[in-house]
Structure 1
Amino acid sequence: MLIRIDADSQRPLFEQVAASVRADILTGALGPGDRLPSAREVADALDINLHTVLHAYQQLRDERLVDLRRGRGATVAASAAPLVDLAKEVADLVARAGELGVSAETLAAIVTSAVPIDRRPEERP
Structure 2
Amino acid sequence: MLLRIDASSARPLFEQLAAQVRLAVVSGELRRGERLPSARDLARSLDINQHTVLHAYQLLRDEGLVELRRGRGAVVTAHAAERYEPLGRAVEQVRREARRLGLPLSAVATMIDRPEKDGPR
Normalising by the smaller structure, the TM-score range is: 0.7 to 0.9
Q: Which has the higher helix share?
A: 1
Structure 2 residue aligned with 1:34:
34
Task: Rate the CA distance shift 1:16–1:96 in 2: closer, same or farther, 3 A.
Answer: same
The question of 1:91 aligning with 2:95 is answered: no
Which residue identity is paired with 1:72? R
The TM-score with structure 1 as length reference comes to 0.75
- Root mean square deviation, CA, Å: 2.8
1:1-125 counterparts in 2 under 5 A?
A: 1-82=1-82, 83-93=84-94, 95-96=96-97, 104=108, 108=112, 117=121
Deviation string, structure 1 residues 53-112 (Cα, Å, up to 9, x no partner)? 0000001111111111112211111111221343122321454477689x859x749xx6
Q: How far 1:30 sits from its partner (Å)? A: 0.3
Q: How far 1:8 sits from its partner (Å)? A: 1.1
Distance in 2, Cα, partners of 1:28 & 1:79: 13
Which residue identity is paired with 1:88? R
How many equivalent pairs are there? 114
Q: How far 1:44 sits from its partner (Å)? A: 0.4
Distance in 1, Cα, partners of 2:13 & 2:98: 32
Unaligned runs of 5+ in 2: none
Distance in 2, Cα, partners of 1:30 & 1:97: 26
The TM-score with structure 2 as length reference comes to 0.77
The alignment partner of 1:81 has SS state of: helix
Unaligned runs of 5+ in 1: 118-125
Identity %: 55
